[in-house]
Amino acid sequence: MSNWKARSASALFLCPLVLAAISSCAEHGAAGPAPSGSVSSAPPPSATASTTPAPAGQASMAPAPSGAESLGPAPFKPEEIEALVAPIALYPDSVLAQVLMASTYPLEIVHAARWVKAHPDVKGDAAVKAVADQPWDTSVKSMVAFPQILEPMSDKLDWTQRLGDAFLAQQKEVFDAVQRLRARAQESGNLKSNEQQNVIVEPAPAGSQAGTSTIVRIEPANPQVIYVPAYNPTVVYGAWSYPAYPPYYWPPYPAYYPGYYPGAALATGFAWGIGLAAAGAIFSNCNSCWGGGDVNINVDRAANINRNFDRNKVQAQGGRWQHDASHRQGVAYRDNATRDKFGGQSPRAGTRDQYRGRANTGARPGTSDRAAAGNRPATADRSAGANRGGTNRAGGDVNRVSSGDRAGGIGGGRDSAFNGVDTSGRSAQRNFDRGRSSMQGSGFNRPSGGGGMRGGGGGFRGRR
């Protein structure tokens, strides 16, 4: 019996020491130098990713990312931009500007289009007032007054997103492309003043790079009634110059253009449809679009459209429009430069928590600073996992410190039979003394069936 007790006591003493040794090896194995001649095969990190230094022996061999790799896709070519804006370049200036703004929020476009389909009898300014409390961007709310624009924007979502990508990254180039197309339409004899619109030709402002000596403005003939033309780009602009980049086009939606039916040709290139009493939906102007590349915002009009409108934010930008990343709803930005410009967000993360209904929970300290998933610490820097207590999760992981900063020791930060084991041996001695005292006080009690050994397995799963 005494031999059995001695062996058991010895086992209790050795078990923590063995685990401590394993922990030490795991830590040195994770952080130690790579074998001689090894080369990291991981792709270069993005320009904004937060990374830990490469282990010794690898740093000099890791190639630095090139500028092209860090910035992502190449900018849109001028002919690509012309193809994107071809269906909308002949809209009235203010309507055009608001379409471009709204295109940067493609998911909210889908929500607004669904609202319009659910409320077919609410039109024009009345529709804009009806969505005043919706959580969408002001530009998206304004689009409910123009279902003949909103519906194809929702149906052709790939085009909408590409248009928004171009506008975010190359705003001035987009306005320059619009002017080139308007000049062509005018030269072809297809853009002129009529009962629906006023076409105004002015000298190009200094700094304009549209490649034209004049600018063409389009305004409603009656400011209270707005007409939105539908047209075939290959007709109104004359012969299209870029076969590799044909213009986007879709026939008019018959519901909004009486007299047009599917398959009918637009003899003059245009269909005008019904004028809309939608002056209340207009909150922008393009006085600075041509040459300056900016959209001016009338903050009073915008506040009438959107009860949640923050006029201070616009006024801080000098009255110019600025993309609001909080309305992006997790949609990927096309390139890193655009992502970094608008909040430093991961192109796939965006405002994902808000999209999933977790906005402003304030309950996860580790995630409250996750505006940029691309900036999450590399998993090799997992130093604070001990705070990820599994027993104190009230209110949704209140004490769950950022998962990118977990501990790498045995137990992985979880409450287990071996929490707190270190490599000094002091803890092992305390465990032995505690076990021996327990045995002497109550007779031998066999350790708990090996369950404690399994309790710490979570830490090793994190290390594989």
Number of domains, the chain: 1
Q: Summarize pLDDT for 238-275 with one digit per residue, the tens.
A: 999 999 999 999 999 999 998 877 767 666 678 998 89
11 or 76, higher pLDDT: 76
- Reported as a pLDDT band with limits 50, 70 and 90, residue 47 is very low
SS3 string, the chain, reads CHHHHHHHHHHHHHHHHHHHHHHHHHHHHHHCCCCCCCCCCCCCCCCCCCCCCCCCCCHHHCCCCCHHHHHCCCCCCHHHHHHHHCCCCCCCHHHHHHHHHHCCCHHHHHHHHHHHHHCCCCCHHHHHHHCCCCCCCHHHHHHCCCHHHHHHHHHCHHHHHHHHHHHHHCHHHHHHHHHHHHHHHHHCCCCCCCCCEEEEEEECCCCCCCCCCEEEEEEECECCEECCCEECHHHHCCCCCCCCCCCCCCCCCCCCCCCCCCCCCCCCCEECCCCECCHHHCCEECCCCCCCCCCEECHHHHHHHCCCCCHHHHHHCCCECCCCHHHCCCCCCCCHHHHHHCCCCCCCCCCHHHHCCCCCCCCCCCCCCCCCHHHCCCCCCCCCHHHCCCCCCHHHHCCCCCHHHCCCCCCCCCCCCCCCCCCCCHHHHHHHHHHHHHHHHHCCCCCCCCHHHHHCHHHHHHHC
Specify if 212 maps to a domain.
Answer: yes
Give the mean pLDDT of the chain. 72
The β-bridge partners of 209 are none
Specify if 279 maps to a domain.
Answer: yes
Most confident of 17-21, 63-67, 161-165, 256-260: 161-165
What is the rounded average pLDDT of the residues 442-462?
Answer: 44
Segment among 88-92, 163-167, 328-332 with least mean pLDDT:
328-332
Specify if 450 maps to a domain.
Answer: no
Domain that includes residue 114, residue range = 78-323
Most confident of 6-15, 40-49, 53-62, 414-423: 6-15
Specify if 278 maps to a domain.
Answer: yes
Which pLDDT score is estimated for 333? 94
Q: Summarize pLDDT for 214-233 with one digit per residue, the tens.
A: 999 999 999 999 999 999 99
Specify if 344 maps to a domain.
Answer: no
Specify if 298 maps to a domain.
Answer: yes
What is the rounded average pLDDT of the residues 368-386?
Answer: 42
What is the rounded average pLDDT of the residues 172-192?
Answer: 95
351 in Cβ contact with 345 (< 8 Å): yes
% of the chain residues with pLDDT over 70: 56
Specify if 276 maps to a domain.
Answer: yes
Specify if 440 maps to a domain.
Answer: no
